[in-house]
Amino acid sequence: MTERAQRAPRFAWLAALSDLLTRVAPTRWLGLMLLALHAAVVLDAESTPTRAFLLAHYGLFLLWQPLVRSEARIEARHALPVFAMAGLLVLVESTWVMALWLAILAGLVGAVAASQSRGGQRLAYLLALAYLLALLLAWVLPQSLGGGTLPDELKTAVRFGLPLLPLLILLLPGGRQRNTSSTLDFIYGLMLSLLIMVVALGAFAVVAVAQVSYAWALVQTLLGMAALLLALSWLWNPRAGFGGLGQVTSRYLLSVGLPFEGWAQRLATLAERERDPESFVRDALADLHELTWIRGGRWQAARGEGSFGEPAGHAVTHAFHGLTLEWQSTRALTPALALHVRLLSQLLGYFYAAKVREQTLREQAYSQAIHDTGARLTHDVKNILQSMKTLLAAVDTSTPEDSERLLALMRRQLPQLAARLSQTVDKLKQPAEMDVETIATDAWWDALQTRYEHDDVVFVADAVDATPLPQDLFDSVADNLLTNALRKRQSEPGVAVEVHLALRPLVSLTVADSGAPAPDHVARNLFLSPVASDFGLGVGLYQAARQAARVGYRLELPENRAGRVAFRLQATDSRQDTPG
């Protein structure tokens, strides 16, 4: 067997004892601690037994204490104050040291009692608090004021009646020992300890100044403390036209070390001016020079990182909405400052997330604009190719006798196709200039009839004049609608196609055919979203409708029935392009 295996049974009892002690309920240690304290303070004994009871009391206190977990390992620098307090309590024979210890112990017990939710454990801690207050006020303070200032009956009651409270705590059912320390309300415990110290010092001052009995001095002190607490409670929330101490304290905690409202206003102004999220964070943190208790820090986001100020020894890190902030200070932050830093971090994180969403929307809008431009230009090129195919078909089917007519057709069509192709290339270079150029109605109408004069399309117009039309919109919509109607003729021979142009009361262009109607589900979404198409991307009419809306027109399907399918491009009521 190895040396470690031989030593294991030797220390098995120690591990078992440690495991047994950790399973003891905290209220059991509390009751035993108070009994040892009572034996050390109240019972008349020699100096050595008294110190032994005090040492046992302090050991039981360490087993009960709610500040550090029972299984945690304490470093040497943290253990030094523990031994210093034990030495002060055991070696120094002073009633004032004992009074200070009782006030501290009462504050700890009260803080734990405030955090208990179970009735039995809460009752145990309230009994312990009552015992400590009674021991302090009825025994320790009278001894510090000169001895027999209390009647013998009260001394007997304290000596033999007070131990009933710790015994009752031992008889109450105790909860299981938790692995972590109890949740403490430190503010409550601190205020309770300070209040007990004020009562003790107040009673001592009244006895020393007024030369009255201790009982009457204690009554006067308690009445004065009650009046003071009543006044503070009224000032905390007076309900008399002003906020009171509660609102002032809350405002101070929110704006400690920095005018919070001013910084928030500057942050909102910076958010309106700066578009880049990372630049916004950098400029916002550079504006925190008024925080004297923050020396510097670092920030990190998805697309950048940086630092501000100077490095320091203590750091607090918060992360909100993809923004990680590290605040560095010369010394550890107090709870109020830590809350303040968390609030600043959360507010900056919300603004950063808003800037990221804003940038994402800009990028999506840019991508959508590129998509819209590409889709429109793709349909323009498809329409030009369709016209070229029509010319090539005319060439293939022509005879020598048609040479003159074919040459005239080429002379009319090829310059128009070249001009349209040039316009398409210009739009690709400068998409912002789309939908700007206009053309006279009569010129555009003649060009449209020329392009489709060999496609057996009926053109009807009412009093065409020089009214300006958005050339790109009408070219794109007319070519899309006519291409779709002529394609329908390929699958449904004999379909008639008609184009009607009207200028009064509103400018409108109608393209109708006598083919089959569009399905209901297609007709409902025709101008709202891309639809499935067997011949392209299915976005032609969708893009045409969006283009029309941008320049004050609307594209609609007023008729959709067998034998009559009509699409209409019409100016809106607010756009009067009719001649005067």
Tell me which of 117-126, 414-423, 482-491 is least confident.
414-423
Higher pLDDT, 498 or 274: 498
Higher pLDDT, 303 or 39: 39
CATH no., domain 438-580: 3.30.565.10
Do 200 and 98 form a contact (C-beta atoms < 8 A)? Answer: no
Beta strands at 564-571 and 553-561: parallel, antiparallel or unpaired:
antiparallel
The per-residue pLDDT for 9 is: 56
The per-residue pLDDT for 511 is: 92
Single-letter amino acid code for the residue at 382? K
Query: What tokens does 197 get?
Result: 């110290």
Please tell me the distance from the alpha carbon of residue 502 to that of residue 568, in angstroms, as a whole number.
11
Strands of 457-461's sheet, edge to edge? 457-461, 497-502, 508-513, 564-571, 553-561
Please tell me the distance from the alpha carbon of residue 504 to that of residue 326, in angstroms, as a whole number.
69
Please tell me the distance from the alpha carbon of residue 380 to that of residue 163, in angstroms, as a whole number.
100
Residues 253-280: what's their mean pLDDT?
73
Higher pLDDT, 227 or 392: 227
**Statement: residue 107 has pLDDT above 70:** yes
Residues 424-444: what's their mean pLDDT?
68
For residue 41, which phi and psi values (nearest 5 degrees)? Answer: -100, -40
The per-residue pLDDT for 534 is: 54
Average confidence score pLDDT of the chain? 78
DSSP code per residue over 66-131: SSS-TTPPPPHHHHHHHHHHHHHHHH---HHHHHHHHHHHHHHHHHHHHT--SHHHHHHHHHHHHH
Residues 15-37: what's their mean pLDDT?
78
Percentage of the residues of the chain whose pLDDT score is greater than 70: 74
pLDDT band at 340 (very low <50, low <70, confident <90, very high): confident
The predicted-structure confidence for 361-375, as pLDDT tens digits, reads as follows 877 776 666 666 666
Please tell me the distance from the alpha carbon of residue 266 to that of residue 282, in angstroms, as a whole number.
14
The answer to whether the pTM exceeds 0.85 is no
Q: Hey, which residues does 509 pair with through a beta bridge?
A: 501, 569
- Is 475 in a helix, a strand, or coil? helix
Please tell me the distance from the alpha carbon of residue 485 to that of residue 565, in angstroms, as a whole number.
9
Q: Where are the domains of the chain?
A: 13-236, 253-358, 438-580
Do 345 and 333 form a contact (C-beta atoms < 8 A)? Answer: no
Residues 229-249: what's their mean pLDDT?
72
**Statement: residue 412 has pLDDT above 80:** no
Q: Which residue has tokens 């050991």?
A: 59
Is the backbone peptide bond immediately before 505 cis, with ω within 30 degrees of 0? yes
pLDDT band at 129 (very low <50, low <70, confident <90, very high): very high
pLDDT band at 360 (very low <50, low <70, confident <90, very high): confident
The per-residue pLDDT for 178 is: 47
Q: What is the largest CA-CA distance in the chain?
A: 145
